[in-house]
């Protein structure tokens, strides 16, 4: 299959390749302004001017060359508005080495003051006692209320330790022309009207064709000769696969972090439905848990022969100028839900009260959607702040150039109670070791060698023990 060859050749990238953070992203960016940083800028500038003391905030992030220019411009704008404060920024490549750098910096006693952090790493560094409690800047209004799904808390104290810079969610992308040719209506953008699973599979079959022109719904269809698949995945790592668990009424861990859900029958069945798309229904190409097609997979995938793709919202920036691509809500199994992610921004503990205060002011500036408006307008980021999804004056600032259906689908998810499941990496200390164990087993289900029920019976006892440990290590 042409699509298989092209997608197999894509460079693997970690999900954390966002322009300032997030599960994915693009080079689409421009300098953030200072229009909404007024109170932060004025307070900080006033305190610095009064004391006459100069403060340096060390800021570490990941970015490519284009993104680095944008971040530097934002830092210079902040310095201009805040005399006496110097932001010493350092960019690392988005190649998965960020965690190693932090570990090394810790050993040398050279940790930054503010940095990006991978979703899966935040509870590790919190458990190590490195992250500052930033609840005060939320309580005093310095930082406006953020979406619950991107707010990260200490599991024990419930104090806020970070917020995601972007609210990235899983969406269903599709080719308008391919659906039209197959006589299929475009996916709904209203969560309450999401395709049920049977409808979704039926449509995927109509869109899947072999080299003889037969669809997966036709007699005589040959799954070994597929040229065009109905569905493609950006990847099948946890952000995507765990969605199936939640959509089927199960999950990984309850939202309050107390109940283990992975071994529920509903969770197992949700994963089996994913595996069936590949091995039973033959509407999706073979993929393993470690597979990733890169952050910009949708345009490439549709060009390669896929009719629909499941991917994160960060890819909106890559397809918003492609008139053939639209966006809808994901199909429902038992529930119509999506999963969110978004690389958090953190502050490290320090005994220097002036540096900590300056770091918190800079933090407030960086997590303000207004300061990252060009990224939000591009679709690389989505607003992390609640009122940006309800206030008409703020709603008018973003999403108007997104692909057909994208803004409507996003608003439907965010404004529908219970429709966004927070990625448990944010709040489960044992998440990384749980996922590492899961990864060792799950490919047997995805490749059809065993059923999901068989695989889960093998790995869930260990994963449940890891969860119950309540610790990262």
What SS3 state is found at 334? coil
**Residue 7: predicted pLDDT:** 28
3 state SS for 432-464: HHHHHHHHHHHHHHHCCCCCHHHHHHHHHHHHH
What SS3 state is found at 470? coil
Rounded Cα distance between 6 and 315, Å, is: 18
Of how many residues is the chain composed? 473
Rounded Cα distance between 398 and 374, Å, is: 9
CB atoms within 10 A of CB 367: 26
Averaged in consecutive runs of 10 residues, what is the pLDDT profile of the chain (473 residues)? 32 30 33 33 45 88 80 92 97 85 93 94 94 97 94 94 95 98 98 98 98 97 97 83 95 96 98 96 90 74 94 91 97 96 94 97 96 90 96 97 97 97 93 95 96 98 97 89
Cα 19–143–70 angle (5° rounding)?
25
Sequential DSSP letters for 265-284 = HHHHHHHHHHHHHHHTS--B
**What is the architecture, at CATH level 2, of domain 168-340+425-469?**
3-Layer(aba) Sandwich (3.40)
3 state SS for 133-201: CCHHHHHCCCCCCECHHHEEECCCCCCEEEEECCCEEEEEEEEHHHHHHCCCCCCCCCHHHCCEHHHHH
Strand 344-347 versus strand 226-228 pairing type: unpaired
Tokens standing for residue 312: 């994160």
Q: What residues does 146 pair with on adjacent strands?
A: 385
Task: Tell which residue, 126, 144, 42, has the closest CA to residue 85.
Answer: 42
Task: List where CATH 3.40.190.10 sits in the chain.
Answer: 38-167+342-397, 168-340+425-469
Q: Which long-range contacts (CB under 8 A, 24 or more apart) does 260-268 make?
A: 260/464, 260/467, 260/468, 262/434, 262/438, 262/456, 262/460, 262/463, 262/464, 262/467, 263/456, 263/460, 263/463, 263/464, 266/334, 267/456, 268/452, 268/453, 268/456
**What is the architecture, at CATH level 2, of domain 38-167+342-397?**
3-Layer(aba) Sandwich (3.40)
Residue 326: φ, ψ to 5°: -120, 175
Task: Tell if the pTM clears 0.75, that is, is over it.
Answer: yes
**Residue 395: predicted pLDDT:** 98
Rounded Cα distance between 431 and 427, Å, is: 8
Rounded Cα distance between 201 and 282, Å, is: 10
CA distances from 456 to 50, 260, 361, 412, 445 (A): 62, 13, 46, 33, 9
If phi > 0 it is left, if psi is from -120 to 50 it is alpha, else beta; for residue 448 that is left
């Amino acid at each position: 299959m042409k699509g298989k060859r092209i997608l197999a050749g894509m460079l693997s990238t970690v999900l954390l390749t966002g322009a300032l953070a997030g599960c994915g992203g693009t080079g689409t960016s421009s300098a953030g302004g200072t229009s909404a940083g007024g109170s932060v800028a004025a307070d900080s500038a006033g305190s610095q001017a009064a004391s006459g003391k100069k403060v340096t905030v060390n800021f570490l992030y990941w970015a490519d060359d284009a993104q680095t220019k944008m971040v530097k411009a934002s830092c210079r704008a902040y310095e201009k508005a805040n005399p006496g404060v110097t932001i010493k920024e350092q960019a690392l490549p988005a190649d998965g080495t960020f965690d190693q750098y932090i570990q090394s910096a810790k050993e040398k006693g050279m940790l930054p003051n503010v940095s990006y952090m991978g979703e899966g790493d935040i509870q590790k560094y919190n458990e190590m006692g490195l992250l500052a409690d930033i609840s005060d800047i939320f309580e005093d209004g310095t930082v406006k209320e953020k979406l619950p799904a991107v707010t990260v808390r200490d599991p024990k104290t419930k104090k806020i330790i970070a917020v995601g810079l972007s609210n990235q969610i899983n969406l269903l992308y599709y080719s308008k022309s391919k659906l039209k040719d197959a006589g299929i209506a475009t996916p709904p953008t209203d969560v309450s009207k999401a395709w049920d699973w049977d409808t979704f599979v039926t449509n995927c079959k109509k869109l899947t064709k072999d080299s003889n022109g037969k669809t997966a719904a036709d007699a005589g269809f040959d799954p070994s000769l597929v040229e065009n698949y109905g569905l493609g995945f950006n990847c099948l790592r946890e952000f995507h696969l765990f969605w199936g668990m939640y959509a089927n009424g199960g999950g990984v861990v309850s939202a309050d972090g107390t109940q283990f859900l992975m071994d529920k029958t509903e969770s197992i069945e949700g994963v089996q439905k994913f595996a069936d798309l590949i091995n039973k229904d033959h509407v999706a190409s073979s993929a393993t848990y470690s597979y990733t097609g890169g952050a910009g997979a949708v345009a490439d995938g549709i060009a390669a022969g896929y009719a629909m793709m499941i991917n994160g919202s960060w890819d909106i920036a890559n397809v918003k100028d492609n008139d053939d691509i639209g966006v809808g809500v994901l199909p429902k199994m038992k529930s119509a839900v999506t999963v969110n992610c978004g690389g958090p921004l953190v502050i490290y503990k320090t005994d220097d009260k002036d540096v900590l205060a300056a770091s918190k002011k800079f933090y407030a500036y960086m997590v303000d959607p207004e300061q990252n408006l060009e990224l939000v307008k591009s679709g690389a980021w989505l607003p992390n702040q609640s009122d940006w999804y309800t206030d008409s004056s703020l709603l008018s600032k973003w999403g108007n150039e997104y692909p057909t259906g994208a803004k409507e689908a996003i608003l439907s998810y965010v404004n529908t109670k219970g429709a966004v499941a927070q990625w448990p990496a944010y709040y489960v200390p044992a998440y990384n070791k749980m996922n590492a164990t899961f990864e060792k087993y799950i490919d047997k289900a995805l490749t059809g060698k065993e059923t999901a029920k068989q695989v889960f019976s093998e790995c869930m006892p260990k994963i449940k023990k890891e969860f119950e440990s309540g610790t990262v290590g």
